[in-house]
A and B are shown apart, each in its own frame.
Chain A
Amino acid sequence: MHESVVTTWMMTAGAWQAKTWAELASDALSQNIWLTVAYIAGGLIGSMTAVTILGLALIYAERKIAGHFQCRLGPMRVGPHGIFQTLADVVKLLMKEDIIPDRADKAMHLLAPFLAMGATMLVIAVIPYSPLLQLVDLNIGVLYVTAISGFGVMGILLGGWSSNNKWSLLGAMRSGAQIISYEVSATLALMVVVLFAGTLSLRGIVESQMDGWWIWRAHGVGIVAFIIYLIASTAEINRTPFDIPEGESELTGGFHTEYSGMRFSFFFLAEFLNMFVVGAMAATLFLGGWMPFHLGGWEGFNNVMGLIPPIVWFYGKVFFIIFVIMWFRWTFPRLRVDQLMRLEWKVLLPIGFVNLLAASVLVLTNLYFFPGN
């Protein structure tokens, strides 16, 4: 059946290279230590380049999509359809003076943006982009991602605290409250998939979806978990309608009020990369990662789908999720703090628990679609 196509390319992948970057590096250790160093340096440089390009592309996409959502055009002047606008802005941000407020906690003020950015970079390392491309595969991948993305809020908290500005502090505290609340729901939603897949490793979860994506294979609880994850993670990455830590109208920029130039752009980039991380996690856990879209019994259709390279599948799914998150941003108004808390503790959390309970019953009774093995 359709399984044949997937196995074919998993076999070709195996013949080619089915190892993660970290495994390659550790294998090289037995031959030559400099090869290992080269692998590590290559991985670092490669992921940094990818992150920069991704950030530029996402910011451009956001501006364009925002424009069209609001009957505007978005950037149009720098380059054809404004494609170099973000690049020009990066140059501007690099040239700007980096101001540290008077009596600010200097060390923390300087450190905060890098913490925010570093957390995101650490998550990007474990995402399986394609069967051939993954930097590290951890056997506790899901746990690692939830833990590290919670670490990113440390940067925001530090930035707000060290700025010596009450708006910044308020924004940072709101951000802390928000991430404590919504992390619970997001993790509960991820737990559903972990229950079904029976593994925490991200690569393992992708491979468990060979027979169908968990979003519909998990018999209804999958789609509920997906929606909860989408809402909760939008809140976690502080995007509108949950952008109360920034809240331009009430906090004049929130935690990054006092940041300028390079450091501001780090916060900004981290925000956009977090969006990518959320998209990648949603795609990996619910939409089958790099697995192509297959319909049971439709051999020809499945073959055609199998021809599309897995990395295209992965990025297609991620950008779909990112588009939805942007769509949220340009449609919904911002929530008040109390509304935000009510949504989490009174709506998302109870539904999440019930959903998790239902999922465990389904798993125990083996009652899900196309149990392949």
Chain B
Amino acid sequence: MGAVDFSKVRLEQRTLAGVKIPVAVVPRIKKQSYLEKILIALKGLMKGMRLTFGYLIHPSRIVTQQYPENRATLKFPERYRANLKLIYDENGYHLCGGCKMCEKACPNASIKVLNRKGPVTGKLELDRYIWRMDSCTFCNLCVMACPSDALQMTHQFENAVYDRRLLIYNLNRYAGPPAEAMAKLDEEARKQAMEPRDVYGGPVPLNGEPLPNIPPIVIAGEEKAASETPPSTEGPAA
């Protein structure tokens, strides 16, 4: 065994069969004697031991956090990814134009964007932004795909619920045009254009039964499915 001294690697032009070829010339590996090998090995071991000892004597390098106790002062790594969120501007308007790029980017179909024809603007706008947290892998592809930077991965990670259906969120607070379109409307029209939506307003999957305290929702064209049909076993209603 021996180490290659990479600082002595030279680049040369050599002619092989009349063709000039650039060649990297690596110096011969120096043969090490028995004692040399042992010394090098010991040096490597000492290096490792110094590193771990450094960890031992510097408690500030500990990454473990005592979670429930330090909830208030929890430290998150820079690129920590938890619950998805729609970004709202200072006026409380979302930025989503309903282009469905995130829905197409999602590898496991956890996102469903439902659009409607706006009652005020007459154009397509976001009705419901449904995010299935239960099947989300937090891969961040939706955030990267969004052309208007309307999505964000937050640090909210406490998601325990007693019913799986409560993991299906409706991310938009109102159905209506995004901030860009809102800017063109006057005060009165803005109010008319917005229709409130709550967190659990999405089409509930599994067997489609309504949950206690959460009224069944009605989606245009799917009234029957949401209100009266007996529980179907075919999967998500959406």
Chain A residues within 8 Å of B, Cβ to Cβ: 65, 67-73, 76, 327-328, 330-332, 347
Interface contacts (Cβ under 8 Å), in number, total 35
Q: A69 touches which one: B45, B55, B64 (CB < 8 A)?
A: B55
The answer to whether A347 touches B48 (Cβ under 8 A) is no
Q: In the assembled complex, which residues on chain B have CB atoms less than 8 Å from the CB atom of A328?
A: 49
Q: In the assembled complex, which residues on chain A have CB atoms less than 8 Å from the CB atom of B49?
A: 327-328, 331
The answer to whether B55 touches A70 (Cβ under 8 A) is yes
Q: B52 touches which one: A72, A331, A347 (CB < 8 A)?
A: A331
Q: In the assembled complex, which residues on chain A have CB atoms less than 8 Å from the CB atom of B63?
A: 71-72
| Distance to closest chain A CB from B77 (angstroms) | 14
Given A65-B56, A71-B55, A347-B38, does the pair A332, B48 have CB atoms closer than 8 Å? yes
Given A65-B56, A327-B49, does the pair A72, B62 have CB atoms closer than 8 Å? yes
Q: Does B59 belong to the interface (CB within 8 Å)? A: yes
Residues facing A in B26-44 (CB within 8 A) are: 38
Q: Does B61 belong to the interface (CB within 8 Å)? A: yes
Q: In the assembled complex, which residues on chain B have CB atoms less than 8 Å from the CB atom of A73?
A: 62, 64, 66
Q: Does B157 belong to the interface (CB within 8 Å)? A: no
The answer to whether A71 touches B62 (Cβ under 8 A) is yes
The answer to whether A330 touches B62 (Cβ under 8 A) is no
Q: In the assembled complex, which residues on chain B have CB atoms less than 8 Å from the CB atom of A72?
A: 62-64
Given A68-B59, A73-B64, does the pair A330, B52 have CB atoms closer than 8 Å? yes
Q: How far is the CA of A328 from the CA of B46 in the complex (A)?
A: 10
A347: nearest chain-B partner, CB-CB: B38
Total contacting residues, chain B, CB less than 8 A:
15
8 inter-chain pairs at a CB distance below 8 angstroms, sorted by A residue, are: A68-B62, A71-B55, A71-B62, A71-B63, A72-B64, A73-B64, A331-B52, A347-B38
Q: How far is the CA of A65 from the CA of B63 in the complex (A)?
A: 15
Q: How far is the CA of A347 from the CA of B40 in the complex (A)?
A: 13
The answer to whether B38 touches A327 (Cβ under 8 A) is no
The answer to whether B53 touches A71 (Cβ under 8 A) is no
Q: In the assembled complex, which residues on chain A have CB atoms less than 8 Å from the CB atom of B45?
A: 331-332
| Distance to closest chain A CB from B140 (angstroms) | 26
Q: In the assembled complex, which residues on chain B have CB atoms less than 8 Å from the CB atom of A76?
A: 66
Chain B residues within 8 Å of A, Cβ to Cβ: 38, 45, 48-49, 51-53, 55-56, 59, 61-64, 66
The answer to whether A69 touches B62 (Cβ under 8 A) is no
Q: How far is the CA of A328 from the CA of B53 in the complex (A)?
A: 10
Q: In the assembled complex, which residues on chain B have CB atoms less than 8 Å from the CB atom of A330?
A: 52
The answer to whether B55 touches A68 (Cβ under 8 A) is yes
| Distance to closest chain B CB from A72 (angstroms) | 5
| Distance to closest chain A CB from B129 (angstroms) | 39
Q: In the assembled complex, which residues on chain A have CB atoms less than 8 Å from the CB atom of B48?
A: 331-332
B63: nearest chain-A partner, CB-CB: A71
B59: nearest chain-A partner, CB-CB: A68
Inter-chain pairs besides A67-B64, A69-B52, A73-B66, 11 sampled, C-beta below 8 Å:
A68-B55, A69-B55, A71-B61, A71-B63, A72-B62, A73-B64, A328-B49, A331-B48, A331-B51, A332-B45, A332-B48
Q: In the assembled complex, which residues on chain A have CB atoms less than 8 Å from the CB atom of B38?
A: 347
Q: How far is the CA of A76 from the CA of B64 in the complex (A)?
A: 11
| Distance to closest chain A CB from B44 (angstroms) | 10
| Distance to closest chain A CB from B61 (angstroms) | 5
The answer to whether B66 touches A69 (Cβ under 8 A) is no
B48: nearest chain-A partner, CB-CB: A331
Q: How far is the CA of A307 from the CA of B66 in the complex (A)?
A: 42
Q: In the assembled complex, which residues on chain A have CB atoms less than 8 Å from the CB atom of B55?
A: 68-71
| Distance to closest chain A CB from B92 (angstroms) | 42
| Distance to closest chain A CB from B179 (angstroms) | 43
Q: In the assembled complex, which residues on chain B have CB atoms less than 8 Å from the CB atom of A331?
A: 45, 48-49, 51-52
Q: How far is the CA of A328 from the CA of B32 in the complex (A)?
A: 26
Q: How far is the CA of A71 from the CA of B61 in the complex (A)?
A: 6
Most chain A CB inside 10 Å of its own CB: which residue of B52, B53, B61: B52
B49: nearest chain-A partner, CB-CB: A331
A350: nearest chain-B partner, CB-CB: B34
A329: nearest chain-B partner, CB-CB: B52
Q: How far is the CA of A347 from the CA of B49 in the complex (A)?
A: 21
Q: A68 touches which one: B51, B56, B66 (CB < 8 A)?
A: B56
Q: How far is the CA of A330 from the CA of B53 in the complex (A)?
A: 10
The answer to whether A327 touches B62 (Cβ under 8 A) is no
Q: How far is the CA of A54 from the CA of B8 in the complex (A)?
A: 55
Most chain B CB inside 10 Å of its own CB: which residue of A71, A72, A328, A330: A71
| Distance to closest chain A CB from B63 (angstroms) | 5
Q: B64 touches which one: A65, A71, A332, A347 (CB < 8 A)?
A: A71
User: Which 10 pairs show the lowest CB-CB distances between chains A and B?
Assistant: A331-B52, A73-B64, A69-B52, A331-B48, A68-B56, A72-B64, A71-B63, A331-B49, A71-B62, A71-B61
